[in-house]
Structure 1
Amino acid sequence: MPELPEVETTRRGIAPHLLGRTIARVIVREPRLRWPVPPEFGANLEAQAIERVERRGKYLLLGNALGFALLHLGMSGSLRILPASTPPGRHEHLDLLLDDGLCLRLTDPRRFGAALWAGPEPHAHPLLAHLGPEPLGPGFTAGGLAARAAGRNQAVKSFIMDSHVVVGVGNIYASEALFLAGIDPRRPAGSVTPPAWLRLVAAIRQVLEAAIAEGGTTLRDFVGVEGKPGYFRQQLCVYDRAGQPCRSCGAPIVQIRQTGRSTYFCACCQS
């Protein structure tokens, strides 16, 4: 599933091709995505220049003089920029045709993505209004986490994966950050100490920044017909390494289930 680093990597890849370009036409081949593509999506984009390409959590925002289009990649979606004349494939549901002969194409095999019109105040949109702070922004602090966690018995891993607490800390990144911070993922969030919150904030930022950096190295040719969305790959410390030796102490990595998701950690290094 595309997570914050993949979406940010995609944003950085498509932005240079979109900024300042006018959308000549919007083609919706399949409007039945997670929510139906509304008529105003195309009506408010056509004949308008793209002025901003932003990200909020796992959502992409394309801004023009009228407001913002909101895109989400769902579980299997990707965006590519390629020649507008490229024949669409089976799961390529949406094209934004640009005035330079290129297009932004949405591919979404499972159709769990979204293409909506968010209006002039996108952060007030119901999908964005209640999101927590950006983990790479100034609003994400150890004090803020501690205040939200006070008195809570919820496991710290589930806590930091809650998008109302902080956006974009998906399953892989939560496991990796907790390992770097030396915190047991099963530990109640309310029992995490102030020094541990400081370590965790730093670890979350480190993991996400590394993922974005590695994802960026794969985005070499968004224009090419064979362009790919650039999902990152990196050397993971604990995730999907059950039974393998910890890179720090050599003890076997443990795998458990938490809220229906796999969690990986080192029982010796994390407490």
Structure 2
Amino acid sequence: MPELPEVETTRRGIDTVMTGRPLVRLVVREPRLRWPVPADLPATLSGRTVLECGRRGKYLLLRFEHGTQIVHLGMSGSLRRVPEAEAPRRHDHVEWVFDHAVLRLHDPRRFGAVLWHPAGDGPIEFHPLLAKLGIEPFDPRFGGAWLRDQFRGRSAPIKQVLLAGEAVVGVGNIYASESLFRAGIHPRTPACRLSMARCDKLAAAIQATLGDALASGGSTLRDYVGAGGEPGSYFDIHAAVYERENQPCRTCATPIRRIVQGQRATYYCVRCQRA
């Protein structure tokens, strides 16, 4: 699933195309996504100017004067600029047409979403999909003290707590394994047992891992492409533990182990990561 680095990379790509431009038309070829695309959305947005391309967690937020369009890429979706004359592909379900560019949402599994939050319904932060999201990992308030406070009383394994997204957003399955390795923390460690010092290390590891992924364009999917069609490459090259079961740890040469937590694969080093 596209995670924070992939979504942020997409946001940066579409921001240069959309922001400040009037939308000529919105074309909905397949409304049956994770939630139905509102039938009146094309009429609602036709001729309206995109004021801002924002992001909250894994949601793209396209702000107009009269509301905000919420876009989620789903399990394997991408939002990319295409040549205006290019014929739509089979799974190009939604299209944003501007006077100078065309953007298409390609979503083979249809787990993505294109929704509308009218300005009259209150701040976008109160939308049910966004209201319970944790802090952004690059928010100035984020750090060890923040995590320590969020982990208090939570006995679930730290990997599961990170995936829940209530303490901090953007640390998906791959990034959680990588961040815990950097911080030297065993994925089964109860979150509430982490000391202040270890929370500091984890916060720094999360920011470093996501920062590296952002610098490389993100790549939690092998077929992930950015807004311009460029592939991500970070984890194809730099993964320390993810999908490296039985391969030697890059630090100590101990074979990497794989376990399943909450139906998700976790990779870690038994020597470098302690409970």
TM-superposed CA distance for 1:141, in Å, is: 2.4
Match of 2:238 among 213, 235, 240: 235
Q: Distance in 2 between matches of 1:111 and 1:231?
A: 24
Contact 1:253/1:266, CA 8 A, preserved across alignment:
yes
Asked if 1:114 corresponds to 2:113, the answer is yes
Correspondence for 1:125: 127
How many aligned positions are there?
Answer: 266
Q: Distance in 2 between matches of 1:232 and 1:66?
A: 38
Q: Distance in 2 between matches of 1:173 and 1:40?
A: 38
Q: Percent identity?
A: 49
Q: Distance in 1 between matches of 2:248 and 2:73?
A: 35
Correspondence for 1:190: 192
Contact 1:5/1:215, CA 8 A, preserved across alignment:
yes
Correspondence for 1:157: 159
The structure-2 alpha-carbon separation of the partners of 1:90 and 1:161, relative to structure 1 and needing over 3 Å to count, comes to same
Post-superposition Cα deviations, 1:64-119, rounded to whole Å, max 9, x if no partner, equal 2112100000001101112333211110011111022x211111000000000022
Unaligned residue ranges in structure 2 (runs of 5+): none
Q: Distance in 1 between matches of 2:269 and 2:172?
A: 19
SS in 1 for 2:95: strand
SS in 2 for 1:69: strand
Q: Distance in 1 between matches of 2:251 and 2:230?
A: 34
TM-superposed CA distance for 1:230, in Å, is: 4.2
Q: Distance in 1 between matches of 2:207 and 2:99?
A: 38
Asked if 1:253 corresponds to 2:259, the answer is no
**Alpha-carbon RMSD:** 1.9
Q: Distance in 2 between matches of 1:12 and 1:53?
A: 8
The structure-2 alpha-carbon separation of the partners of 1:180 and 1:220, relative to structure 1 and needing over 3 Å to count, comes to closer
Contact 1:158/1:259, CA 8 A, preserved across alignment:
yes
SS in 1 for 2:42: helix
TM-superposed CA distance for 1:148, in Å, is: 2.0
Structure 1 consecutive aligned stretches of length 4 or more whose deviation exceeds 4 Å: 216-221, 228-232
TM-superposed CA distance for 1:250, in Å, is: 1.1
Contact 1:41/1:115, CA 8 A, preserved across alignment:
no
Contact 1:9/1:230, CA 8 A, preserved across alignment:
no
SS in 2 for 1:169: coil
Q: Distance in 2 between matches of 1:66 and 1:30?
A: 24
The structure-2 alpha-carbon separation of the partners of 1:15 and 1:73, relative to structure 1 and needing over 3 Å to count, comes to same
Give the aligned residue type for 1:84. E
Asked if 1:203 corresponds to 2:202, the answer is no
TM-score (norm 1): 0.93
Contact 1:24/1:99, CA 8 A, preserved across alignment:
yes
Matches within 5 A, 1:7-26: 7-26=7-26
Give the aligned residue type for 2:104. R
Correspondence for 2:181: 179
Contact 2:78/2:225, CA 8 A, preserved across alignment:
no
Correspondence for 2:170: 168
Select between 70-79 and 44-53 the one with higher mean Cα deviation. 44-53
Correspondence for 1:91: 91
The structure-2 alpha-carbon separation of the partners of 1:209 and 1:52, relative to structure 1 and needing over 3 Å to count, comes to same
